[in-house]
Structure 1
Amino acid sequence: MQSSEKQKVARQAQAILGLHIDGVQSLEKGLSNQNYLLRCADRRYVFKRYPRTLPKSSLLAQDSLAKFGITSHLLGYDVDKQVAIFDYVPADDNPPNEITDQLLSRLLLIHQFDSHHTTLLDWRTPLLSACARTKGHMWAEQLIDKLSSLPADLAFCHNDLVLDNLLLSDSGVQFIDFEYACLNDLYFDLAALVISFELDLSAGERLLTRYYRLKCKQLPEHALAKLASFCCVYLILSIAWYEQQGAKQKAAPLYPWLERWRLNAAQSLC
């Protein structure tokens, strides 16, 4: 990163925090945002610059969730400059390698959080657009029709549960990068976990059983069919997004998983 860019980040951070910034380091993770590690005396912070509108409501919800010890606090933001600063979460270099009950319990806290967020994630429009480019428009409509026929499970969702957004800290699993968080069907988050941890259909069913046990609710009969359909939705959207970002190396491994979950979902569409 050029010195002028470091100076710009330091100036913006100082204006928000009111503290002198001793150092700025670019963080490589993250395709949609510019991320930097700030050093200030004996503390560290994460500075994020958003390419479009700053997702204020989602970030304020993240700050509220931080009181449960499952994510980092929002320390300040500038809507006009589209930047925000968060506490730095010391964590292992590697993400979690399994979906523990702690991870699911913390995800459940997110799903049960009353954020007063009224925005509903529109996954249908980009799904139709992505499938139209691959002549799969009819399949997209089938997925939408199938999911529309099943009971909705609306909740406040993270909506971007890739492994890079799950950290292992001394206090347990931490969720980061809440910029897409809003109302959605909670099966979207569960599907993201299934894909991120490369679970097959049987493992996906066990995940559902554990999640509903933690909710103290009975597993619905339609749960597995709904999960299979949302896995297809999540994979199609992920592949399209990675390819639009020029990250074909991240999209390529998802195609075999899409075919597997397409077969799983096809059984439920019959």
Structure 2
Amino acid sequence: MKFQIKTQLNLGLSNQTFIDINDIFIRYSKSETNVFFNRQNEINVIKNIIPFFTETITIIDYGFDDNNFYVASKFEKKFKHLNDVEIDDKLIEQVIMIIKKFHQIPIKNKVELFDYEKYIYWFYNRTKNWIDRPLEITEIDKCLTKLRNKPMDIVLCHQDLVPGNILIFDNKIKIIDFEFSYLNDKYFDYASLISESFQNDQKYKNIIFEKMKFDTKEIEQVELWIQYQNFLWALWSNYLYQETHKPIYKTIYFEKIKNIK
């Protein structure tokens, strides 16, 4: 490793995290996730973000160190994650505004369009052992067929709005980690926020729909992406449990399975 490490942290699932001797936060990729993340796309996303989006932690350096990808950023100490604070209408509105700003980032460096079918089949086709009942390919195909027939509003999407990627400071909110960011339908991010950060809670779902002034078709679009993400993250967690046998992936798998309708 090119960095002189002072402390190893235990943050996130897809990467190793460290503090170096200069108090720089290092996100360093893991071998089991390198196979499905497009790191060149992440580089291009970061290049687009840096000049136009201030609602993130300052990125100092990024690139490859041998076969691993890293992102070095300013080490922030005084913040809480979204799931560590009391959620109210004002906070939800602030998060929505950050998502809207992210969607408005102009694309100066090429970012790939998210291939939602290819991504989900990548995990399905590499599944050898199921944690529980196998997911039926016909169930997944029904969801994909509905998505194919929907018009999409393509923007730069974050796509992984879990509580750990939403940082709350005293008077501002920042989002981090762009390894899963692609061009995609903007409703994917609202689905991600609802399903990942608010566990599909109808109360928070209604607040988001009301503040966004979504009509019936837009709500249907968000619900469809929630269904897709339940399939995707169930397959993702099943694959990673298969490869690593880490219990956290089994926990995530069952969380997603119970939400598949």
Residue equivalent to 1:47:
26
Q: Say if 2:92 and 2:208, in contact at 8 Å, map to a contact too.
A: no
Q: 1:202 to 1:242 in 2, by over 3 A?
A: same
Residue equivalent to 1:92:
79
How far is the alpha carbon of 1:127 from its aligned partner? 2.5
Residue equivalent to 1:32:
14
SS at match of 2:220: helix
TM-score under structure 2 length normalisation: 0.78
The answer as to 2:191 corresponding to 1:191 is yes
Residue equivalent to 1:114:
106
Residue equivalent to 2:236:
241
Q: Which amino acid aligns with 2:257?
A: Y
Q: Which amino acid aligns with 1:58?
A: V
Name the CA distance, whole Å, in 2 between partners of 1:34 and 1:84.
11
SS at match of 1:30: coil
How far is the alpha carbon of 1:61 from its aligned partner? 2.9
Name the CA distance, whole Å, in 2 between partners of 1:195 and 1:252.
14
Kindly indicate whether structure 1 or structure 2 has the higher relative contact order, using CA contacts under 8 Å at least 6 residues apart.
2
Aligned length: 230
Which has the greater radius of gyration? Answer: 1
CA offset digits 1:71-98 (Å, max 9, x no partner): 0121122335432211123343442453
Q: Say if 1:91 and 1:169, in contact at 8 Å, map to a contact too.
A: yes
Residue equivalent to 1:253:
255
| Larger deviation, residues 102-111 vs 166-175 | 166-175
How far is the alpha carbon of 1:129 from its aligned partner? 5.2
Name the CA distance, whole Å, in 1 between partners of 2:81 and 2:204.
22
The answer as to 2:61 corresponding to 1:76 is yes
Q: 1:201 to 1:150 in 2, by over 3 A?
A: farther
SS at match of 1:150: coil
**Any stretches of 5+ residues in structure 1 without a counterpart?**
11-22, 213-218, 263-270
Q: Say if 2:155 and 2:183, in contact at 8 Å, map to a contact too.
A: yes
CA offset digits 1:173-206 (Å, max 9, x no partner): 2101111212011111111111121234564244
Q: 1:46 to 1:204 in 2, by over 3 A?
A: same
Q: Which amino acid aligns with 2:3?
A: V
| Larger deviation, residues 28-37 vs 244-253 | 244-253
Residue equivalent to 2:51:
64
Q: Say if 1:59 and 1:179, in contact at 8 Å, map to a contact too.
A: no
Q: Say if 2:114 and 2:182, in contact at 8 Å, map to a contact too.
A: yes
TM-score under structure 1 length normalisation: 0.75
Superposition pairs for residues 143-182 of structure 1, below 5 Å?
Answer: 143-182=143-182
Residue equivalent to 1:223:
218
SS at match of 2:156: strand
Identity of aligned residues (%): 19
Q: 1:91 to 1:181 in 2, by over 3 A?
A: farther
